[in-house]
C-alpha cells in the first residue's frame, strides 16, 4: 500500500487564512497521512515569532464577509474581527495559532518557510518559531512533496 502524503501551501497571513492549513495538517496526521506545510509570502506571518500571536482576519476583499467593504476597511475592524474569531475558537476549545504549530510539530508535520519570501520580507531564520524545520526554496518544496497531494489554502 502506498503511503499517503499531503503538502499544504499557506500564502496569506490572516487568522482565517492560516487555520484551514493548520487544521488540515493536524487532521492528516491524525489519519496517518504524512504532511508538510510550506509558508510563503504573507503566510510567513503565521510562523514569525513576533507576528503569530497577532494574526488578523481579512475582511476587505472577502466576498463572504458579512460586513460591507466600506465598514470592513475602517481602522481597527480587522483586529476586532480577529478578537471575535479568537473568542469563538476559544469557546470551541480550538488551540491558538502558536499552540497549533506546536501540536503540528509534535504530531510529525514538517513546517517550512519559503527562502525567497524570507529574503523579500527581510526575515532571518531566528525570526521564525522554533517548530519550523527549515527554510527551503520552491524547488525544494516540490522535491519534498513528490507523490503528495498539494493543496493551496
pLDDT tier at 57 (50, 70, 90 boundaries)? confident
| Residues in Cβ contact with 43 at an 8 Å cutoff, skipping those fewer than 6 apart | 9, 10, 11, 12, 13, 17, 18, 114, 117
pTM of the model: 0.89
For the residues 45-67, what does the mean pLDDT come to?
Answer: 83
pLDDT tier at 141 (50, 70, 90 boundaries)? very high
| Residues in Cβ contact with 84 at an 8 Å cutoff, skipping those fewer than 6 apart | none
Q: Above pLDDT 70, what percent of the chain? A: 91
Give the domain 5-152 fold: Hypothetical Protein Ychn; Chain: A, (3.40.1260)
Q: Are 18 and 53 in contact (CB under 8 A)?
A: no
What residue spans define the domains of the chain?
A: 5-152
**pLDDT score for 151:** 95
**Of the ranges 66-70, 73-77, 132-136, the best mean pLDDT one:** 132-136
Alpha-carbon distance of 128 to 75, in angstroms, equals: 28
For the residues 114-125, what does the mean pLDDT come to?
Answer: 98
**pLDDT score for 27:** 97
- Name the residue among 90, 113, 96, 130 with its Cα closest to residue 23: 96
Q: Above pLDDT 90, what percent of the chain? A: 69
Amino acid at each position: 500500500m502506498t503511503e499517503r502524503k499531503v503538502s499544504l501551501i499557506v500564502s496569506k497571513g490572516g487568522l482565517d487564512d492560516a487555520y484551514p492549513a493548520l487544521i488540515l495538517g493536524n487532521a492528516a496526521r491524525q489519519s496517518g497521512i504524512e504532511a508538510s506545510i510550506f509558508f510563503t509570502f504573507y503566510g510567513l506571518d503565521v510562523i514569525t515569532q513576533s507576528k503569530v500571536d497577532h494574526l488578523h482576519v481579512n475582511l476587505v476583499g472577502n466576498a463572504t464577509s458579512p460586513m460591507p467593504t466600506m465598514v470592513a476597511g475602517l481602522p481597527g475592524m480587522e483586529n476586532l474581527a480577529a478578537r471575535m474569531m479568537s473568542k469563538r475558537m476559544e469557546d470551541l476549545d480550538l488551540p491558538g495559532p502558536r499552540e497549533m504549530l506546536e501540536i503540528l510539530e509534535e504530531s510529525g508535520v514538517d513546517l517550512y518557510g519559503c527562502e525567497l519570501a524570507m529574503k523579500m520580507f527581510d526575515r532571518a531564520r531566528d525570526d521564525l518559531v522554533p517548530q519550523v524545520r527549515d527554510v527551503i526554496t520552491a524547488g525544494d518544496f516540490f522535491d519534498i512533496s513528490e507523490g503528495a497531494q498539494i493543496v493551496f489554502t
